[in-house]
Amino acid sequence: MINGAHIVLYSRDAEADREFFRDVLGWPHVDAGRGWLIFASPPAEVAMHPTDDGAAHELMLMCDDLDATMEELRAKGVEFAQQVTELRWGRLTAFHLPGGGELGLYQPTHPRPEA
């Protein structure tokens, strides 16, 4: 039986992104050896979206209050990659990772499944 999911983020500076998740986001973690950190993630959802451009995958973090979360992250030096967009399913923004990537951050307004 499947009991979880392992998410892999590819990065040009994996060490900087590991430090970001550890120090800025404060996610619990274990050291799997030689500084290779594995993080516990908050509860997750999985949704399938149609595309004509081939398979792709996306990771977005969720929060209950986007404005408060953005303020908290800005106080820790996080820079946002886009303005907040009000969408039918939630409020969306994205922030820069130290390794050069971006992560979406949104406050869902859609129904949420029970874990």
CATH at 45: 3.10.180.10
Q: List CB contacts of 96: < 8 A, sequence separation 6 or more.
A: 78, 79, 80, 81, 102
Give the per-residue pLDDT at 2.
83
Domain ranges, residue 49: 14-108
Q: Report pLDDT for 53.
A: 87
pLDDT value of residue 69: 97
> Is there a domain that residue 115 lies in?
no
The 10s digit of each residue's pLDDT in 22-76 is 999 999 999 999 989 999 999 999 999 898 888 888 899 999 999 999 999 999 9
Convert the pLDDT of each residue in 71-109 to its tens digit. 999 999 999 999 999 999 999 999 999 999 999 999 999
Tell me which residue has tokens 């792709």: 56
Domain assignment present for 3: no
The total of structural domains in the chain comes to 1
Q: Calculate the dihedral angle through the C-alpha atoms of 49, 53, 57, 60, rounding to the nearest 10 degrees.
A: -60
